[in-house]
Amino acid sequence: MSFESLTYADLADRLGTTSEAARALVRRLRLPRQPGNDGKVRITVDLAELEYRPLPARSPGDIDALKARIEALQSELSELEAENNALRATADGHRADFERERERSDTLLLEIVRFTAAVLSAREKAARLEGELVACRARSWSRRLAGLRGTARSLAQILEVRPRPTAAA
């Protein structure tokens, strides 16, 4: 174990990389640092234990392949954006249809409520009239006749018509 005190530039030369890469490596490995008398930071490191392999430099062929892949992805992105816009337009059309149908269903629901109220009212009226009919049939014929005369008089009063003179009167 041989520890050496190196500056970032010296460490970069030993590792065959840049000063910034050496600085990032020291930070990542949390190696001990001390400021020197000359103002430069010194790192205490055992180069035998340090396992650092710089990434290989990219060849121009790799860069051209990456540029071609970027262009292909950009064209695919523009196609997908166009498809997305078409789908949004379709969705907007469906949204308009949905809104129209919802308004129509609300209108139909209001009509159903109105018709239900009218049916219930008609049923109540029919039940009341049926009860009156049963009560009328239960009375004797003379009372029915008297009831009809009274009904005719009350109708005449309502309509302000003078009743005809009857033979009994």
| Domain locations in the chain as residue ranges | 3-46, 58-137
Query: What pTM was computed for the model?
Result: 0.36
Distances in Å between the Cα of 152 and the Cα atoms of 4, 18, 143, 147, 164 are 129, 119, 14, 9, 10
The predicted pLDDT at position 147 comes to 61
Summarize pLDDT for 9-34 with one digit per residue, the tens: 998 888 888 889 889 988 988 888 99
Cβ neighbours, 10 Å, residue 168:
4
Summarize pLDDT for 128-139 with one digit per residue, the tens: 988 888 887 776
Whether residue 4 contacts residue 47, with contact meaning beta carbons closer than 8 Å, is answered with: yes
Whether residue 132 contacts residue 139, with contact meaning beta carbons closer than 8 Å, is answered with: no
pLDDT at 54 over 90: no
Summarize pLDDT for 64-75 with one digit per residue, the tens: 888 999 999 999
Distance, in Å, from the CA atom of 50 to the CA atom of 32, rounded to the nearest integer, reads: 13
Note every long-range contact of 84-88, with CB atoms under 8 Å and residues 24 or more positions apart, other chains counting: none
pLDDT at 1 over 70: no
